[in-house]
Amino acid sequence: MLRRLYDWTLSLAAKPSAPYALALVSFAESSFFPVPPDVMLVPMMLARPDRAWSYALICTVASVVGGVLGYLIGYLLYDSVGAWLFQVYGLADGAEAFRHSYGEYGHWIILLKGLTPIPYKLVTITSGFAGYPLGWFILLSVLTRGARFFLVAVLMSRYGSAIKGIIDRNFNVVAAGAITAIVGGFVAFRYLF
């Protein structure tokens, strides 16, 4: 199933709707969707290395805009929607400790967690319910999400054909590693905060 999704994503990159689909996934991941845009971004960059930089920009902008929605969920709707999302992901207990750490370390949390497999939506929602200043949140999100997606663009531009060969030869191992990173991000968030 994952192999078909990978092949479909590679074929999607040739379609005019590809950037819109990528933007939608990036937007949704920052506020409510559990799958990171990398599962779409990497195959699209492999299929169209000439568009790697524009794909990174699309992911950055859509992720930050989606992050603002996540922030608003936390700020305006934490008691209903935000708390429900944290419960769905089994992270309600860790959310309160994470919220309290924002008083002293909010900027570092946003910068570091935006680069890791820890789901970014948890950072955006928590930033909102912790009352972190929105302007700083947006600026730090642009920096951290931009760094993450443009790093992928650099790697795909330089080593894309080699990476594609590795993925094609070892797809199951690569897919298992990606799933482990996603699940590990949720687990890390739960136990570290």
Query: Position of tokens 């990476």?
Result: 163
Under a CB-based contact definition with an 8 Å cutoff, are residues 29 and 35 in contact?
Answer: yes
DSSP codes joined into one string, 7-20: HHHHHHTTSTTHHH
Domain ranges of the chain: 2-11+19-192
Under a CB-based contact definition with an 8 Å cutoff, are residues 57 and 48 in contact?
Answer: no
pLDDT score at 8: 66
Q: Which parts of the chain fold into alpha helices (H)?
A: 2-12, 18-29, 38-47, 52-77, 83-88, 92-113, 120-129, 134-169, 171-192
Per-position pLDDT tens, the chain of length 193: 566 766 666 677 778 888 998 999 899 989 888 778 887 888 888 888 889 999 999 999 999 999 999 999 989 987 777 677 777 767 677 767 766 777 678 888 888 887 776 778 888 988 898 889 999 999 999 999 999 999 989 988 887 777 667 766 766 676 666 667 656 655 655 555 5
Rounded CA gap, 193 and 190, in Å? 6
pLDDT score at 119: 77
pLDDT score at 69: 95
Whole-prediction pTM value? Answer: 0.77
Under a CB-based contact definition with an 8 Å cutoff, are residues 56 and 149 in contact?
Answer: yes
pLDDT score at 179: 63
Rounded CA gap, 74 and 14, in Å? 37
**Sequence-distant (≥ 6) Cβ neighbours of residue 157 within 8 angstroms:** 49, 52, 53
Rounded CA gap, 165 and 101, in Å? 43
pLDDT score at 59: 95
Rounded CA gap, 164 and 170, in Å? 10
pLDDT score at 65: 97
User: Phi, psi (5° rounding) for residue 58?
Assistant: -60, -45
**What DSSP state is assigned to residue 89?**
T
